[in-house]
Structure 1
Amino acid sequence: MKIGLLGYGKMGKVIERIAQERGHEIVARINKDDSKNDLEKSDVVIEFTAPESALENLKYCINKQIPIICGTTGWNSSIEEIYKLVSDQNAALVHASNFSLGVNLFFELNKRLAALMEPFEDYQLAVQEIHHTEKADAPSGTAITLAEGIMENTHFKGWHLGKENEKDSIGIEALREHDVKGTHLVSWNSDVDQIEIKHTAHSRDGFALGAVIAAEWLLDKKGSFTMKDVLGL
């Protein structure tokens, strides 16, 4: 499979290595100010850039009908516009707040735990995420997905950036520390005990492998998908 990389920073280089280990060829390595023309050689594009670049990158690939894997977060307010464009162009997209297999299992565990905890009013919810200081958006897309999973199974109706919950809104505490690949913690706390689930990424390899697996899965498909579809969860 011929893969084009949109974003050739730390993440892009890890994706390159893992894709090549799996027998794929990298035919384009595109950074912010580079021409995108070489992407047309690709069977699929994997995009990890920044929120301010993601929409333009998505529209370019969708309009060219190049299947695209998007790992950039911070653009979800435009998701319906992108879904419509994918449908109109008969294109293919997998987007996810996190491509790690472990995180996607964590998402499902989080939903189940939230449903179990909802009847027990003595427990107070806390959500925290920690990332490296270079991460542009806060809270992380992964933390937002966790909050949305909780909202589906509890009385909470929204989320906000901040440590404390506010009535029906989940507070997400976002911390930035040097060289943290990604840590997410959901805890339910009472006066007598605490229940918590936590995911800690040790390297970028898990995210990169998931993105390459998604690219392999998407190759012969049309439509908009998430990692839940890719993994059959």
Structure 2
Amino acid sequence: MKIALIGYGKMGQAIEKIAVAKGHEIVLKISIDNLEDNTIENIQQADVAIEFTGPESAYDNVVRCIEAGVPLVCGSTGWLNKYDEVTALVKEKNGTLLYASNFSIGVNIFFELNRKLAELMAPHADYDVSMVEIHHTQKLDAPSGTAITLAEQVMEKITRKQSWVNDTTGNPAELSILSERIDPAPGTHKIKYSSSIDDIEIIHTAHNRTGFASGAVLAAEYIAGRKGIFSMKEVLGL
């Protein structure tokens, strides 16, 4: 499989290492040093594109890949205010998009645990729920896309929480997400249910980027040759 890497930072390099080891070919690498090569024509050399950049460039990269007609795996966060617009374009162009806030197999299992725990806790109003996410200092967006996904899952089941805030809060209708930036932390997410009697907490801690990178390659292998909009749930059969 021929892969275009849109974003060749630490994550892109980790993806390259895993992809090449699995026998895939990297035909395009886009970094801040060669943005002029980020063209539809160059992207079309690939069977699939993997996009890991930043909030300021992700949307334009996603649209460019869709316009190129190349199936896209996107792991960038901070652009989801335009997600509906993008999915409409995918349908219009009969394209392929797989977006995930986190590609780690462990995190996607954690998502399922989070959803189930929230469902179990929903009838118990004595417990208040809050979240903490910890990442390295180079991560620009806060809260993390993974934290937002976790928060949305909680609010889907616990309807007394109507919105999340990236701060502490005394409003019972708000879900607090605290963001900490500490090097060299690759990513920790904690969901805590607290009452006057006890606490219940689930935690996922990443040790390195390997889980994210291997999941992204797995997602690329899955969408190659497919049409439509996918998530890691389909890739992992969850």
Deviations 1:167-188 (A, max 9, x none): 3221111111111100000011
Specify the code of the residue in structure 1 equivalent to 2:7. G
Counterpart of 2:38 in structure 1 is 36
Write out aligned runs for 1:146-225 (5 A). 146-155=150-159, 156-164=161-169, 166-225=171-230
Deviation at 1:159, TM superposition (A): 1.1
Secondary structure of the equivalent of 1:34? helix
User: What is the one-letter code of the residue matched to 2:146?
Assistant: T
Q: Distance in 1 between matches of 2:63 and 2:86?
A: 8
In the alignment, structure 2 segments of 5+ residues that lack a partner are: none
Q: Is the counterpart of residue 226 in structure 1 residue 231 in structure 2?
A: yes
Say which SS state the counterpart of residue 125 (structure 1) adopts.
strand
Q: Give the TM-score normalised by structure 1.
A: 0.97
1:94-141 per-position Cα deviation (integer Å, ceiling 9, x unaligned)? 001000010011011001101111111221111010000010100000
Does residue 1:87 correspond to 2:57, yes or no? no
Please state if 1:130 is matched with 2:134: yes
Match of 2:10 in 1: 10
Q: How far 1:164 sits from its partner (Å)?
A: 2.9
What is the CA-CA distance between 1:165 and the residue it aligns to? 5.5
**Aligned counterparts of 2:14 and 2:219: Cα–Cα separation in 1:** 15
Q: Could you tell me how far apart the structure 2 residues matched to 1:6 and 1:192 are?
A: 49
State the distance in 2 between where 1:232 and 1:80 align: 24
SS in 1 for 2:226: coil
Task: Quote the sequence identity (%).
Answer: 51
Structure 1 residues 23-62: aligned runs within 5 Å: 23-32=23-32, 33-37=35-39, 38-62=42-66
Question: What TM-score results when the alignment is normalised by the length of structure 2?
Answer: 0.95
**What root-mean-square deviation, in Å, do the aligned CA atoms of Structure 1 and Structure 2 show?**
1.0
Shift of 1:205: 0.4
The aligned amino acid for 1:65 is G
Q: Deviations over 1:65-95 (max 9, x none)?
A: 0111000001110000000000011110100
CA distance in 2 between partners of 1:34 and 1:134 (Å): 24
Q: Secondary structure at the match of 1:213?
A: helix
Shift of the alpha carbon at 1:146? 0.3
Deviating 4+ runs (over 4 angstroms): none
How many aligned residue pairs are there?
233
Shift of 1:191: 1.8
Q: Structure 2: how far apart are the matches of 1:158 and 1:220?
A: 38
Structure 1 spans left out of the alignment, 5+ residues: none
**2-structure distance, mates of 1:205, 1:163:** 32
Correspondence list, 1:62-141, <5 A: 62-141=66-145
